[in-house]
Structure 1
Amino acid sequence: MKRRLLSVGAALLAVAASVLVFVKPADAAVGLHVDGRHIVEANGQPFVMRGVNHPHVWYTGETDSFADVKALGANTVRVVLGSGKRWGPSTDVADVISLCKQNRLICVLEVHDTTGYGEEGAAASLDEAVDYWISQKSALVGQENHVVINIGNEPIGNVNAGQWTAATTAAITKMRANGFEHLLMVDGPNWGQDWQYVMRDNAQAILDADSRRNTVLSIHMYAVFNTATAITDYLDRFEDNGWPLVIGEFGWRFNANEVDHETILAESQARGLGYLGWSWSGNTDPILDMATSFDPARLTTWGERIFNGANGIRATAREATIFGGGPSPTATATPTASPTAQPTPTPQPTPTDPPTPTPTSGSRSCTAAYRIVGQWPGGFQGEIRITAGNAAISGWTVTWALASGQAVNQAWNATVTTSGSAVAARNVSYNGSLGPGADTVVGFLGSWSGTNPVPPLTCTAT
């Protein structure tokens, strides 16, 4: 989970990292595995994680969440489990895996009890986390195509972060000695944020400790990574050395000092890095919830952004081929404009007018539906969902009229122009072509005064 750091100061100065390059040996593990700096499936197809974290151990009854995040486009879910030291114990691992498989999701399973070890007195050690995995081995063996084992969440705090290297090496060695063939994921120290660069500077030693050469490193990005420079500098070091990396947790910029989620999304897509946003719902800090009260119909600003925005889950996720999905994406998607921090809205699902198909040449048509995602005094976030008719389309344009006092200030996933009260949103390069019945979502930030009505829309397809 997120841990704000009160001061990082001079500790954020970069330290030279190893220049050795990780190379997968010929005897790489079965199932999901590392190939160079990327994750691939057993058949060699690249797999890029696009998903969210689900706080399962605290909300074991919220099993519909697996289907809900899948319906929103995710291909992976990172599931919070407990070893019994602080939470749990989670003895329903087989059921969790079954839910993932039923919903065609790759399952990243993590022990959360290790969070902040060395600084958090109640935390479990990585060695204790491995003991938990050993106790659950019968549910895990044979699931290597579907399951990634994240040994322990944020396993070291800010006190003596250097102990992370030996503890992580020992945990990996113990996992392999006990017969686990799975892709292993290891989080960095400093509550996952690695601001002292212990993981970065010892990455090669960790990768070399795995006899199966099948470990991926995981960085958690919150307030330490609040600038594009901080993010790209960190990612560059891993890419330059060929080290496998995923962004196992990150939040969004709800104020100026928080994580630069726009850069994380864009850089992940450009580099082929997996990402898993924190988190679906149930946070004690509810601004990090993507869905209010676990309701997929009540996405928050953060939920709308990560699922439906540019470089987000819906636009870039590809289902694992083990479930019949296509190849992973390689092209990048660049928004026309990106949303910036705004006052935190209270999500307000708003009824929309039924979309009306507008016939175009031949049988090509589309519909558009408008929704106010969140609203605050003087501002709001909206979305428009465009859906193709019974035939494929190669482009679309949605038009509507602004009410008095309304304005569109920024938009993503579309080129938006205004002339007086008339607004036109046109597809961009990556979302104009839609198969029969397929859809795409445009997001925007607007302002209002007086009233903020939902307008009728016209959708024109080409």
Structure 2
Amino acid sequence: MKRKLLALCVAVLAAVASVLVVYLQPASAAAGLRVSGTKIVEANGQEFIMRGVNHPHVWYTGQTSSFANIKATGANTVRVVLGSGKRWGPSNDVANVISLCKQNRLICVLEVHDTTGYGEEGAAASLDEAVNYWITQKSALVGQENYVVINIGNEPIGNTNAAQWTDATANAIKKMRGNGFEHLLMVDAPNWGQDWQYVMRDNGQTILNADTQHNTVLSIHMYAVFNTAASIVDYLNRFRTNGWPLVIGEFGWRFSSGEVDDETIAAEARSRGLGYIAWSWSGNTDPILDMALNFDPNQLSTWGKRIVDGPNGIRATGKEATIFGGPTPTITPTVTPTVTPTVTPTPPTGACSATYKVSGQWGGGFQGDVRVTAGNAAIKSWTVTWAFANGQAVTNVWNATISSSGPNVTARNVGYNGNLGAGASTTFGFLGSWNGSNNVPTLSCTAS
């Protein structure tokens, strides 16, 4: 069984000053799920934010009802543990697993677990061996690009020579593409997934560049290394600053002092528009990480209740993929009605205010953060406008939709952050470009 909670003595690493360059990854030409900038989108361009649960299928192949039970939590994703045959399996039921995902309207993240801790765990498979497994399953995978993400290998390098992760991962991606896979690929960090030596954090660009289809998302696993809000925020900020796509592919919960800060992880994921997948549904040798005791959905553990029903949990934030008929982008009709509608009183427009700050700046790029606050009455939606005075431009955004016309920028709420109680606030952020000056503009906020 995998190592989850590592007793790590992490040496303080000397900080190396560097110029941070925003890398905006182009949308892939591949069909199905794909990376666009820092986001994952469906084939129709709709953003897809993973809200899911890990399921240890390879060890409990008879627990097929778990797919429906996971869906019932509000999840839109299930990450399915498979075996290549090196340590577990082989999982030759991939077609059936995909069918179970689709029947239950779940995006299927498939992972080979045998790679866990390679280099430190003597029985582990290499990433190259994991790719060989995927090649044997290709017939079940081709044509499923709208529904399936291939997570090449779980936690593929341990703490021994973690630097080997960069070449091994880049080569695995190249081999997948060379063998005709067009799926969205997911790659886990080294250090048993926790990247405490920052190999993935500092070499992410090399990995993204290895994918000729520009359709790879990086994945961090957050356990005891990430036991403070500061450690979580700092790590996530590095990826946002670099413009790299990231998901939280596994995380647990703070069941005792010093353990993972699950509440900060969920809140930060929500505010940043990052996907997360909680570990795990049931069947752990250490049942503290079971979300459902004995696979019973009516016996959610403390962890299960926290991540399913918490304020930033799965039920509150999960949105079904549009490929299954979930919500699609609203299209405003352009035809003017010829019949004059009955005039009804217009409710008064609510008040709001907005503040703008530059939270980070580097050569040619910057990060802006905007806080929107409702006035003395609740509001249902908000719009913030401003005009850049120095030629700045927005290049990426989270927690809002933005349109621009020359220097004029209009930001509107997304579905989950328009409703604000009196005096309540929400934030959105963006990456931008600048040259010469980067003065703070004057903002205007309107609400209804």
Task: Normalising by structure 1, report the TM-score.
Answer: 0.70
Q: CA offset at residue 72 of structure 1?
A: 1.2
What is the identity, as a one-letter code, of the residue corresponding to 2:64? T
**Residue deviations 1:315-335 (CA, integer Å, cap 9, x gap):** 00000000011159xxxxxxx
Query: In the alignment, which residue of structure 2 is the partner of 1:325?
Result: 326
Q: Confirm or deny: 8 A CA contact 2:79 2:109 kept in the other structure.
A: yes
Q: Confirm or deny: 8 A CA contact 1:18 1:202 kept in the other structure.
A: no
Structure 1, gaps ≥5 residues long: 329-393, 395-427, 433-462
Q: Distance in 1 between matches of 2:284 and 2:311?
A: 25
Q: Distance in 2 between matches of 1:46 and 1:429?
A: 17
Q: CA offset at residue 28 of structure 1?
A: 2.6
Q: Distance in 1 between matches of 2:102 and 2:112?
A: 20
What is the identity, as a one-letter code, of the residue corresponding to 1:253? R
**Residue deviations 1:97-156 (CA, integer Å, cap 9, x gap):** 000000000000000000000000000000000000000000000000000000000000
| Counterpart secondary structure, 1:306 | helix
Q: CA offset at residue 164 of structure 1?
A: 0.1
> What pairs with 1:167-316 in structure 2 (closer than 5 Å)?
167-316=168-317
Change (3 A) 1:132 1:70: same
Q: CA offset at residue 12 of structure 1?
A: 5.7
**Residue deviations 1:148-186 (CA, integer Å, cap 9, x gap):** 000000000000000000000000000000000000000
Q: Distance in 1 between matches of 2:19 and 2:160?
A: 24
**Residue deviations 1:234-281 (CA, integer Å, cap 9, x gap):** 000000111000000000000111000010000000000000000000
| Counterpart secondary structure, 2:236 | helix
Q: Confirm or deny: 8 A CA contact 1:184 1:215 kept in the other structure.
A: yes
Q: Distance in 2 between matches of 1:17 and 1:186?
A: 25
Query: In the alignment, which residue of structure 1 is the partner of 2:4?
Result: 3
Q: Distance in 1 between matches of 2:309 and 2:245?
A: 27
What is the identity, as a one-letter code, of the residue corresponding to 1:201? D
What is the identity, as a one-letter code, of the residue corresponding to 1:47? F
Change (3 A) 1:27 1:120: closer
| Counterpart secondary structure, 1:256 | coil
Q: Distance in 2 between matches of 1:109 and 1:81?
A: 7
Q: Confirm or deny: 8 A CA contact 2:26 2:37 kept in the other structure.
A: no
Q: Distance in 2 between matches of 1:62 and 1:236?
A: 38
Q: Distance in 2 between matches of 1:186 and 1:268?
A: 18
Q: Confirm or deny: 8 A CA contact 1:32 1:40 kept in the other structure.
A: yes
Q: Distance in 2 between matches of 1:178 and 1:253?
A: 42
Alpha-carbon RMSD across the aligned residues, in angstroms, is 2.1
Change (3 A) 1:27 1:258: closer
Query: In the alignment, which residue of structure 2 is the partner of 1:107?
Result: 108
Q: Confirm or deny: 8 A CA contact 2:86 2:114 kept in the other structure.
A: yes
Change (3 A) 1:15 1:295: farther
Task: Normalising by structure 2, report the TM-score.
Answer: 0.72
Q: Confirm or deny: 8 A CA contact 1:219 1:247 kept in the other structure.
A: yes
Change (3 A) 1:14 1:272: farther
What is the identity, as a one-letter code, of the residue corresponding to 1:173? K
> What pairs with 1:326-365 in structure 2 (closer than 5 Å)?
326-327=327-328
What is the identity, as a one-letter code, of the residue corresponding to 1:155? P
What is the identity, as a one-letter code, of the residue corresponding to 2:132? D
Change (3 A) 1:277 1:188: same
Q: CA offset at residue 7 of structure 1?
A: 2.6
Q: Distance in 2 between matches of 1:327 and 1:14?
A: 44
Q: CA offset at residue 25 of structure 1?
A: 3.4
Q: Confirm or deny: 8 A CA contact 2:308 2:315 kept in the other structure.
A: yes
Instruction: Give percent identity, aligned residues only.
Output: 75
Change (3 A) 1:248 1:15: farther
Change (3 A) 1:104 1:158: same
Structure 2, gaps ≥5 residues long: 330-378, 380-416, 422-448
Q: CA offset at residue 213 of structure 1?
A: 0.2
What is the identity, as a one-letter code, of the residue corresponding to 1:39? I
Q: Distance in 1 between matches of 2:27 and 2:76?
A: 28
Q: CA offset at residue 6 of structure 1?
A: 2.4
Query: In the alignment, which residue of structure 1 is the partner of 2:91?
Result: 90
What is the identity, as a one-letter code, of the residue corresponding to 2:111? E
Q: CA offset at residue 44 of structure 1?
A: 0.3
What is the identity, as a one-letter code, of the residue corresponding to 1:96? V
